[in-house]
Structure formats: C-alpha cells, structure tokens
Amino acid sequence: MQKTADVIIIGGGIHGASLAFHLAQRGLKALVLEKKFLTSGATGRSSGLVRMHYDLEPESRLAWASFQYFRNWKEMVGGDCGFTRTGFLYFTHPEYVESLRANVAMHQRIGIPSLLVEAADVKRLAPAFATDDFEFAAYEPESGYADPSASTNTFIEIARQRGAQLLQDCTVTDILVSAGRVSGVKTTQGDFSAPLVINAAGAWAAGVARLVGLDIPVDTWRHDTMFIKRPAGMAPSHPTAIDDANSMYFRPESGGLTLVGLEDQNPLGESPEGYTDRSQPGFVERAIERICRRIPLMEQGSLQSSHGGYDGITPDQRAILGPAGPDGFYLVCGFSGTGFKIAPAVGACLAEWILDGKPTTVDVTPFALARFESGEKLVGEHAYKDIWH
C-alpha cells in the first residue's frame, strides 16, 4: 500500500469539502472518499439557512465567521455559493423573551448585525406575517440562505485545483490502526494510506467511529421539508424565519416558493438509508397548518414538493469536533440539523487544529467528544429549549 494522501476525509458533504479546501490552502493534499456522490447526504437536502442566532456563543461565533465566507464567497473560496440575503427573524416562546434579549446582546457584542424588534416592526418587514402572538423578535438584516450543493462543489473544485482528490462511489469499510495511530483505510475501491483520517460521515458517523473502536453519541435524525408556491397576493419575497412559537422554520426560495421545515416529530434512530425522495406521512398536512398560522395568506398557496434527509444528532444537539480515539483520527460530525451554516469556519478551525495543534479562527475545543465522557452538555448561558423536540 502506497502513501496516497496527507489526510483521508471520509464523507463528501459540506464538512468534508470545507476541510479539504482549508487543508489545501495550507498545502496539505486531502483524499475525500464518498460512498455515493458529493452532497448525497444531509448536505444535498439541507434548507441552507444562514443565520447567526444561537444561544451558545461559540456557535454564534462559528456562524459569524462562516458568514464572512457566504457573503464574500467569490473572493474567499471561488465561484458562487448562491447566498441570498433575505433578512432573518427569530420568534421565540413568550417565556424566553429575556433570553432573546440577552442573546441579541451577546450577538451584538460579537459584532453580528442583530437587533431586537417589536411586532409592529415585523409587520413592516413582512406584512403577510401574523404578529399578534409576540411582542419582540430578533432580527438579522444581513442573513438569508445559501445553496449547499453549490457551496460544497466550489469548496471541492478549488481544493482539487490545489491537489486534493475526490473518489466517489467509494465506501470506507475499515480504518487501519497500528501502534495506536491511524495509518489508512480499506475501501470498496482498494486501500489507501495516510497518517490522518477524518470522520465527516454525517448520519453514518457512529458506524465510522466504531471502525476504530470508538463509541460516539451520534444518533440519526430524520428531517422533512416542503416547498409551497406562494399565492399571487403575497409580496415577491419575505424574510427567513425560525418560528419556535409554531415549532417551525421557513424561508423564501426562487420561483415564488417558500420552504418549510418543522422542529418537532423528526424521528431519531432510523437507518440513514431510509427513503428521502418524499416526506413522511402526515408531514405536509402539519407543515401547511403551521405556515398558515404565521402567514394566513398561504391558505391560497399550493404544494409544490416535499422530501426528507438524515443528519447525525448528539445529546446536546451540538457538533463533535477534534481529535479522538487513535492518534491521527479526528471527528467532524454530529451537526444535529444545523451544520451547514457553520461549515466554512469549522473547516478552517479543523485545519488549524490539525496543523497548528489548536483552533484559532474560533475556539471550538468546547465541542470535543470529552464533554460527553464527563457527562456534560453544551448549554447556552441564556438557553432556549432544544430546537429539535
């Protein structure tokens, strides 16, 4: 077996691609191994929301550092990530208004354009939205959504121009470890060697970790989304929103469409090989009922399509990042249904961790696997309830 790469990355989603890009920037040649095709996992199904509103400061910092990429993709990466600025609104339950206030203050301290607005302001921003069930919302005027497939493809394209390789239709079946250190992988296309192996396998990450004897608390999480055609009477677009009061999020899409996802009834523990070409029974009815609560005019809209996807989820619904298990093995997984928008900065941080011994773009050491070993969970200082419930 010949030395084939500086680093082997298992998984061709946004995180494998971002890391390959950032390693290439630092002169390391990654080999990305993908069992199906690029973006065939969660990334290809992602709703692509790009916002900075989290209740955990390191996550907001990751989203803010990543936002610089989305906004300046051509200069920072190359090509186009399809970023569309729509503005972003966060509606929370009335009992979390003080947390909302504190979290907006935390975002402002970091430098994120975020402000607390009143219901009347929301009405001006989005005349079609019902605004009678809340007093305050958080507003991020610069946020919106991006195209996860285009983002992944451009990361990989530029990485390949700088020496990275991508092998698709290539399943990693074993990870080779000798003297406590990873040395390569076995795959359906032969064996490859490298001194560093990265688990960026999304909903499959627990199985990949088991190949080195590591148990990680990453379960599978299924999530459905729906596209609805907006009625003619609505304005051409509307802000993106997370609407905790209705356990829902939504954003506009081109062609007069609105994408809707729900925070509840996302099944855990299913095989990630489950069907994704359609949503689960009952999802569309629930999603229509919720979106019509927030945007009553949508009663005159029409269903366009719906589908599902799988991501890996952890007990605190936050990612697992950094070295774990044998020397040279790294985890970049457990993104818990919110990992797209932070991928650019996560890739930068992991490249720093690998090459410099510590992440500096953002201190992501709190996301290490060790937190679960000591029974800790990452919780925001002014926490809302878990987004997925």
Ligand X SMILES: Cc1cc2nc3c(=O)[nH]c(=O)nc-3n(C[C@H](O)[C@H](O)[C@H](O)COP(=O)(O)OP(=O)(O)OC[C@H]3O[C@@H](n4cnc5c(N)ncnc54)[C@H](O)[C@@H]3O)c2cc1C
Quick check: 69 binds ligand X (CB under 6 A)?
no
State the minimum distance, in angstroms, from the CB of residue 128 to ligand X: 21
Q: Quick check: helix, strand or coil at residue 297?
A: helix
Quick check: 218 binds ligand X (CB under 6 A)?
no
- Cα 357 to Cα 196, 216, 231, 352, distances in angstroms: 13, 22, 53, 7
Quick check: 262 binds ligand X (CB under 6 A)?
no
Quick check: 198 binds ligand X (CB under 6 A)?
no
State the minimum distance, in angstroms, from the CB of residue 140 to ligand X: 14
Quick check: 309 binds ligand X (CB under 6 A)?
yes
Q: Applying CB under 6 A, what is the total number of residues that bind ligand X? A: 40
The tokens for 208 are 């990949």
Closer CB to ligand X, 16 or 301, in the complex? 16
359: Cβ contacts below 8 Å, ≥ 6 apart: 322, 349, 350, 352, 353, 365
The Cα–Cα gap between 144 and 126 comes to: 14
The Cα–Cα gap between 91 and 322 comes to: 33
Binding segment for ligand X (CB under 6 A), chosen from 93-101, 194-202, 212-220, 228-236, is 194-202
Q: Given the DSSP bridges, would you call strands 219-229 and 190-193 parallel, antiparallel or unpaired? A: unpaired
Closer CB to ligand X, 119 or 368, in the complex? 368
Quick check: 324 binds ligand X (CB under 6 A)?
no
State the minimum distance, in angstroms, from the CB of residue 193 to ligand X: 16
Binding segment for ligand X (CB under 6 A), chosen from 28-36, 66-74, 294-302, 376-384, is 28-36
Quick check: 144 binds ligand X (CB under 6 A)?
no
Quick check: 155 binds ligand X (CB under 6 A)?
no
Closer CB to ligand X, 301 or 337, in the complex? 337
- Which of 283, 340, 367, 372 contacts ligand X by CB under 6 A? 340
For residue 27, which of 356, 334, 261, 316 has the smallest C-alpha distance? 356
For the segment 44-63, give every residue that binds ligand X (CB under 6 A).
45-49
Quick check: 239 binds ligand X (CB under 6 A)?
no
For residue 110, which of 345, 322, 331 has the smallest C-alpha distance? 345
- Which of 338, 352, 354, 369 contacts ligand X by CB under 6 A? 338
For residue 227, which of 289, 153, 303 has the smallest C-alpha distance? 303
For the segment 5-24, give every residue that binds ligand X (CB under 6 A).
10-16
Binding segment for ligand X (CB under 6 A), chosen from 35-43, 73-81, 175-183, 366-374, is 35-43
Q: Quick check: helix, strand or coil at residue 24?
A: helix
The tokens for 200 are 């960026």
The Cα–Cα gap between 366 and 378 comes to: 8
The Cα–Cα gap between 86 and 373 comes to: 40
Q: How many Å from the N-terminal Cα to the C-terminal Cα in the chain?
A: 47
- Cα 196 to Cα 14, 84, 207, 215, distances in angstroms: 19, 36, 18, 19
Quick check: 35 binds ligand X (CB under 6 A)?
yes
254 — phi, psi (to 5°)?
Answer: -60, 165
Quick check: 295 binds ligand X (CB under 6 A)?
no
- Which of 165, 171, 237, 265 contacts ligand X by CB under 6 A? 171
Closer CB to ligand X, 24 or 208, in the complex? 208
Closer CB to ligand X, 129 or 388, in the complex? 388
- Which of 28, 33, 177, 291 contacts ligand X by CB under 6 A? 33
Contacts with ligand X by CB under 6 A lie at: 10-16, 33-36, 40-43, 45-49, 171-172, 200-204, 208, 223, 225, 309-311, 333, 335, 337-341
